[in-house]
Amino acid sequence: MAMVREITFAEALNEALDYEMSKDPKVVVMGEDVGQYGGIFGVTKGLLEKYGEERVRDTPIAESGFIGTGVGAAASGLLRPVVELMFIDFLGVAYDQIYNQAAKIRYMFGGKAKIPIVIRTVSGAGASAAAQHSQSLHALFVHVPGLKVVYPSTPYDAKGLLISSIEDDDPVVFIEHKMLYGIKGPVPEEPYSIPLGEADVKKEGKDVTVVATALMVHRALEVAEKLEEEGISVEVIDPRTLVPLDEETILNSIKKTGRLVVVDEAYPRCSFATDIAALAASKAFDSLKAPVKLVTAPATPVPFSPALEKEWIPSTEKIEKAIREVL
């Protein structure tokens, strides 16, 4: 059996964009530094040279303008824009275009309008990028009906989910954790899609369920491997898409293990972590053998200091402590 080659998370995203642009002339890319610079993390590298300035457009530093342009282009039916919002922290500048326009147009037109736009954006701490370039604000998108929200953790998932997102006729917010761009993993050369709304059980277990997102999936797996040496069996679930959410996979796991730890690099209040805890309480309460534990960032801005930032991000030590507390 031939070995599957390994590429980085960023390279997997680039392959997905290249494939979609090669097969569908309606697919266009726009955003700050996506053209000549190839994206600040290299995701759009080479696309300008291959597809030209008509389809790969560098924009001014005006998020409300180019996000709005993307929504309008998608609504026209003429294009399938992939718009890059350089950092999720810049969401506020263009939020009206996203939650009042992109998310609502299909509903307000009785399902007759389609909004095939993908908004790619960068999330997460760990690079000492300070309080305004390091947040994890995915819950703000999850809260809005009409948006699909994707948050992959591996190169394989990134490629397949981005292909599915671009081919979807609804607006998709595709979030990429900045500390994952350089990680490598097996990715087939041929194109493939992963359906939105299907979680992935990254590791099977029987004693406790851990639901984790993006970078936290890798930390949860590290803890799970360590605890396995002690005979503690941890099941790690990666939702992959936050909307639509694969409730069935999560609930089946909770009913099997009876214990739940949610790990999410975001603020603790009104978060994706609390959403999963509420899901467990409302639909699997009788199966729970212990209180649900949440491992999140604290309710403070992200520190610039590397030492403080390291403490701010949920660590393997905190994940392990939470797992031991529910056993």
The CA R_g of the chain, rounded to the nearest whole Å, is 20
Please confirm, yes or no, whether 138 is among the known catalytic residues. no
CA distances from 215 to 9, 26, 64, 299, 314 (A): 12, 32, 28, 19, 10
From 71, 114, 119, select the one nearest 91 (Cα to Cα): 119
Task: Report d(CA 167, CA 293) in Å as an integer.
Answer: 37
Strand partners, 260: 209
DSSP class of 310: H
Q: Which one of 133, 138, 177, 218 is the catalytic residue? A: 133
From 278, 158, 135, select the one nearest 211 (Cα to Cα): 278
- CA angle in degrees (0–180, nearest 5) for 323-264-101: 155
Task: Report d(CA 291, CA 307) in Å as an integer.
Answer: 31
CB 33 within 8 A of CB 58: yes
Query: Which residues are catalytic, by number?
Result: 133
